[in-house]
Structure 1
Amino acid sequence: MVASDAQKTQYATEHWFREQGLPYFVQPRNRGRRLLARCAPMLLFLAMSSFAWSLYAHSSAIQLISDEADSEFDLGPGQAVLLLSMPIAVVLLPVLLAIVGRRFLARHRGWARLVSAGAIVTLLLINPLVAIGSRESSWGIEFSSNLITVLLVLGLAWLGIGSFLGWSVRAAVRQLSAIWLLAAIALPLLMLVVIFAFYSQETWQMTAGLQRGQIFWLLVFLLATGLLFVVYSARKELRDLPASLTEESRAELRGGTPLALVDELPGGAGEGWQGLNRAERANVVWVLVLAQCFQVLIFGLLVFSFLMVLAMLSVPEPLAVQWSGQAAVPLQMFGLNLPIGQAPVRVCAFLAAIAALNFVVSVNSSKAYRDAFFDPLIEQTSRALAVHAAYQSRFCRPEPGPDAPQDPVRKPGLSAPDDIVDA
């Protein structure tokens, strides 16, 4: 019974690591554990999406999309409804079902394995049969592409990439809830400088004089500079972190995790940052870096939206032409002319990138910014290191002899509320 509880605790801890975007904290021999059940949401999405696409491959909607040379093709009401329903059936509904089913499948591993098996059967047997006779696909193409897709999903999940990508999506959604914090703390401190540059004629002239490729690489250069600073500051913070992670603080940080009531055993595999191998260190660094990148991206989009509204309200087209020194040219996207001028978009994008770079520097230097945006990330990283120390000492030690006493381990639930980017 004790051994069974210990195994459940170990699995719950490994599940917690994957939820935090730290798949390389799991022992290598356990990375393939319950692989099929863990891939159930993604396989369910792929099976439903592929099945819907196979059905649409027989319809006139696919003919309308693929037959670009036939300009006389008339679109009837039924075909219009069919065409509009395609993105819903192929993308939206499978995504919603996978998201809703994720929590249920995480708690019911038997159902998760059953769903994964059914999804694989659908991808490898049913969908190729449905594709027979369609003009867009064939049995061989459908089977080979679906087989490669299934193997790719299982391989990425085993490597931990699937866990990291899933965490990235959840982290991005969680960061959206912090927009009010960005607007209340970060945005007012930068608006005076940004607005002053926005109403400067030299800024409009400089951005208008650049070619489209030049403005793109300028934005890439500014964002890459910010990324290098984020990586450097993250590594520096993590190197200094072990000094504050005493045994008592690690026990307190494990509260609310699967190892909340579990103490570290003496002689563990290592504590804190110094106890991590190269892959584990890289995993921690890039989780922290990516969490900051989401903050910077959302802040940049917030500044860009604010400046675009400001441009529409206060910079009429004749004034924009005068400042930029060029005739008004509409913004083109996907071959369509949008009712927005290129000059305001270029100015707003350039100033948003400058503001985002300033935000990166301020987050790592200003105390007000650190308290609001950076310290919560460091606290969650400390919690992950504290859990990892107990996990290493409990489950990565040599197997005890038959006469060695067993340590009772608490039987936890699978839910782990905290995320490394919970803002």
Structure 2
Amino acid sequence: MSASPHTLKPGDASRGADRWFREQGLPTFVPLRRWFTDLPRRVAPLIAWVAVAAYLFQDGIELVIEFAIDDEYPEVAAFMLFLALVIFVLAAGLAWAAYFLVRALLRRLPVGIGTAVALLVIAGCLAFTIAWGYSAQPDASVGPVLRTLLVLGLCILVTGMGGGALISWASRLAVRNASAIGHMASIALPVILMLVVFSFFSVEVWQMASAMSWGSIALLTLVVAVLAGIVVLRVAASEIEDDAQAPSDEQRTALLVGTPAEGRRVAPGAPRRLRAPQRINILLALTVAQLVQALFFAGLLAALLIIIGAITVPAGLVGLWLGPGSATQPMTVQPLEFFGATLPLTVNLLKVATILAVIAALPFVFSAVSETRYRERFFDPIMVDMRRAILVRNAIDTTPSR
């Protein structure tokens, strides 16, 4: 039988609460004095990831790509690039496997033994990285040692500030948003697509998109992201400050189930106000979550528009829509080529689909934070996570009173 929260030792309870806050993407909820506690066990998985990734990505993939683009072997170029992609995926998978394996092992060990094992893992990885650096550069003096020490310092700083936990939280967020594509396709996509399709078959849109460079499209994407972020920040700030959204005792008990504060009661009275770093952390987490959802929606919409365009808009029709252009702004149909092979798509189609998908992501974000049926799927679950984190903070009283 597992121990209840009340029977845990104070050190174990605070360590579990700190880990829980970091896994929620809220490292600022951990007191500053505990940012660098238990550091060997926390930094060892990241050091293992760096060592494995540095070894696997050192020379192998570069050698395959150089061979693939060699003009003497054009017939095997596509195959070698595909092989390079497979090697890249396998290398990344092995690096992450080392990360999760070391983390799972250290979490299962007691604190003292786990710390000793973590120190051994860190020392072994550093020694391996330095030895590999000298084998790759036999004439080097202290370069590999300095690089290894710099990487160690960066890993300690990033881990202490909760950077690893933020990366893990963002990864889980991306997976959760990927699983919500079905809701996007069934709720948000039909309404917005009905408006976008009319613009997709507009001559002016094709002319504008063909005249724009990819740098201009990237700048447009940045502007849309800033506008969407401002909207999410305003809505999230009002939600956090809305006292009418305070949960009842039954709702509070249900929210605390499965958290470090399960079984505890929040002290009566007004809850402690969030400090500025904590408030900023919550707002940024909400904004990032909504922007990731918008990114998945834009990708889904762009893919659908590319499929529609590949079926209904041949290259000849694109040329008729664009016309000859002018001397200052020529209009040309750009076929899409992939390592010498011409695909049945055009760069013009990719630009049109990207621009329309980016612009359509803005009303998607507006609907996600304002309309009821959108909020229930895309905004409220994230807001519930943030309110749960605030309740846990109030229940365990992370910052001790004077």
Q: Tell me the TM-score normalized by structure 2.
A: 0.83
Q: Which moved more, 1:293-302 or 1:323-332?
A: 323-332
- For 1:256-297, what per-residue CA distance to the aligned partner results, in whole angstroms no more than 9, with x for missing partners? 212110113457xx62xx621001111111111111111111
2:290 pairs with 1:287: no
Alignment match of 2:298 (pick from 290, 297, 300): 300
CA shift, 1:147, in A, is 1.0
CA shift, 1:344, in A, is 0.6
2:322 pairs with 1:324: yes
Contact 1:50 1:123 (C-alpha < 8 Å) held by counterparts:
no
2:347 pairs with 1:342: yes
1:102 match: secondary structure: helix
Measured in 2, the distance between the counterparts of 1:70 and 1:368 equals 54
- For 1:37-86, what per-residue CA distance to the aligned partner results, in whole angstroms no more than 9, with x for missing partners? 122321111122234456x58xxx8678789999889xx9xxx89x9586
Name 1:233's counterpart in structure 2.
235
Measured in 2, the distance between the counterparts of 1:324 and 1:390 equals 63
CA shift, 1:328, in A, is 1.5
Cα separation, partners in 2 of 1:190 and 1:66, compared to 1, 3 Å: closer
Alignment match of 2:356 (pick from 348, 351, 360): 351
CA shift, 1:170, in A, is 1.7
Name 1:23's counterpart in structure 2.
27
Name 1:146's counterpart in structure 2.
148
1:16 match: secondary structure: helix
CA shift, 1:216, in A, is 2.9
Name 1:106's counterpart in structure 2.
107
Measured in 2, the distance between the counterparts of 1:139 and 1:349 equals 49
CA shift, 1:195, in A, is 0.9
Name 2:327's counterpart in structure 1.
none
Alignment match of 2:211 (pick from 204, 209, 212): 209
Measured in 1, the distance between the counterparts of 2:153 and 2:135 equals 26
2:266 match: secondary structure: coil
Contact 1:299 1:356 (C-alpha < 8 Å) held by counterparts:
yes
* Structure 2 gap segments, 5+ residues each: 324-330
Contact 1:37 1:109 (C-alpha < 8 Å) held by counterparts:
no
Alignment match of 1:11 (pick from 6, 15, 19): 15
2:9 match: secondary structure: helix
Contact 1:330 1:337 (C-alpha < 8 Å) held by counterparts:
no
Name 1:250's counterpart in structure 2.
252
Q: Any residues of structure 2 matched to 1:403-418 within 5 Å, and which?
A: none
Alignment match of 1:277 (pick from 259, 271, 275): 275
Alignment match of 1:365 (pick from 359, 370, 382): 370
Q: Any residues of structure 2 matched to 1:6-85 within 5 Å, and which?
A: 6-52=10-56, 56=59, 84=84
Cα separation, partners in 2 of 1:345 and 1:137, compared to 1, 3 Å: farther
Alignment match of 1:164 (pick from 146, 163, 166): 166
Name 2:328's counterpart in structure 1.
none
Measured in 1, the distance between the counterparts of 2:364 and 2:188 equals 7
Contact 1:23 1:160 (C-alpha < 8 Å) held by counterparts:
yes
Measured in 1, the distance between the counterparts of 2:132 and 2:213 equals 49
2:379 match: secondary structure: helix
- For 1:80-111, what per-residue CA distance to the aligned partner results, in whole angstroms no more than 9, with x for missing partners? 89x95863674331222323443443333556
CA shift, 1:372, in A, is 1.6
Cα separation, partners in 2 of 1:310 and 1:89, compared to 1, 3 Å: closer
Q: Any residues of structure 2 matched to 1:182-201 within 5 Å, and which?
A: 182-201=184-203
Measured in 1, the distance between the counterparts of 2:63 and 2:376 equals 57
Q: Which moved more, 1:162-171 or 1:90-99?
A: 90-99
CA shift, 1:213, in A, is 3.0
User: Percent identity between the aligned chains?
Assistant: 28
Cα separation, partners in 2 of 1:25 and 1:140, compared to 1, 3 Å: same
Measured in 1, the distance between the counterparts of 2:64 and 2:365 equals 47
CA shift, 1:203, in A, is 1.3
The residue type paired with residue 380 of structure 1 is: D
Measured in 1, the distance between the counterparts of 2:340 and 2:244 equals 54
Q: Which moved more, 1:177-186 or 1:92-101?
A: 92-101
1:132 match: secondary structure: helix
Measured in 1, the distance between the counterparts of 2:268 and 2:244 equals 17
Across the aligned residues of Structure 1 and Structure 2, the Cα RMSD in angstroms comes to: 3.4
Q: Which moved more, 1:223-232 or 1:181-190?
A: 223-232
Measured in 2, the distance between the counterparts of 1:99 and 1:220 equals 33
Cα separation, partners in 2 of 1:383 and 1:89, compared to 1, 3 Å: closer
Q: Which moved more, 1:136-145 or 1:43-52?
A: 136-145
2:388 match: secondary structure: helix
Highest RCO, 1 vs 2 (Cα 8 Å, sep ≥ 6): 1
Name 1:224's counterpart in structure 2.
226
Aligned length, in residue pairs: 383
The residue type paired with residue 92 of structure 1 is: G
Q: Which moved more, 1:202-211 or 1:280-289?
A: 202-211
Contact 2:228 2:291 (C-alpha < 8 Å) held by counterparts:
no
Q: Which moved more, 1:103-112 or 1:209-218?
A: 103-112
Contact 1:48 1:94 (C-alpha < 8 Å) held by counterparts:
yes
Measured in 2, the distance between the counterparts of 1:53 and 1:369 equals 42
Measured in 2, the distance between the counterparts of 1:89 and 1:178 equals 27
The residue type paired with residue 193 of structure 1 is: L
